[in-house]
A and B are shown apart, each in its own frame.
Chain A
Amino acid sequence: NFMLTQPHSVSESPGKTVTISCTRSSGSIASNYVQWYQQRPGSSPTTVIYEDNQRPSGVPDRFSGSIDSSSNSASLTISGLKTEDEADYYCQSYDSSNHWVFGGGTKLTVL
């Protein structure tokens, strides 16, 4: 089993760009797809990135995802920040032993 580690919180101003990291503790980040979920207060999670860098329909292209094998991490980048982007963000991947793994979550503050 592996863990996914995210920063507890990040903050940035409206209109700026922020990147949230997700580091895999063991095994290659590239061995299983990484997904990103947005969870606003009081709401269920929704997918903003799937399969490392794919956006579901309806998710603006301000959201992008990538993986970096050198740092064994995935990243979610949000450009042109809006106050509505303020939320918790979770990365997620699949453990080949029929388990799914979430990162601890990152609280994004847009101030």
Chain B
Amino acid sequence: EVQLVESGGGLIQPGGSLRLSCAASGFTVSSNYMSWVRQAPGKGLEWVSVIYSGGSTYYADSVKGRFTISRDNSKNTLYLQMNSLRAEDTAVYYCAKHDSSGWYFDYWGQGTLVTVSS
């Protein structure tokens, strides 16, 4: 059974850093495309970043240069390092596994809330 469990969210001051983790089970993270998707309170879904099975990474313009996606194959875990955080980064962050074609997200975690506020 595929499971994705995010952790690492919390309250952080503007300009601060936070690292989110997504522990996966039931499949191999490094063999799949994996993304982070966020949802601001009361708002819609926003794609944030992807890491391809080959290791290439891409980012939404809103986070490029501040966020870094990575994975630890030995731990079967996905990460999102978030630096220079802003109030507008406040959201629930979901990790999501892509289907085998890569087109869409077939499994989602439960999400972890990041609140950026002084």
Contacts and interface: CB of A to CB of B under 8 A. Distances in A.
A103 B94 CA distance: 17
A111 B94 CA distance: 30
B103 A47 contact: no
A51 B44 contact: no
A47 B106 contact: yes
Contact of A44 (B56, B99, B108): B108
B105 A45 contact: yes
Nearest to B111: A44
A56 B2 CA distance: 15
Q: How many B residues touch the partner, as a band?
A: 20 to 34
Interface residues of A, number: 24
Interface string B34-52: 0101000000111100100
B104 A92 contact: yes
Contacts of B11: none
Interface in B67-100: 94, 99
Contacts of B109: 44
Contacts of B111: 44
Nearest to B103: A33
Contact of B108 (A32, A46, A56, A103): A46
A24 to B, nearest CB: 15
Interface centre among B45, B46, B101 (most CB of A within 10 A): B45
Contact of B44 (A50, A98, A105): A105
Contacts of A104: 44
A101 interface: yes
A102 B44 contact: yes
Given A33-B103, A35-B103, A47-B105, A102 B46 contact: yes
A47 B94 CA distance: 14
A44 B99 CA distance: 17
Interface string A89-107: 0101010001111111100
Contacts of B17: none
Contacts of B58: 98-99
Interface of B: 35, 37, 44-47, 50, 56, 58, 60, 94, 99, 101-106, 108-111
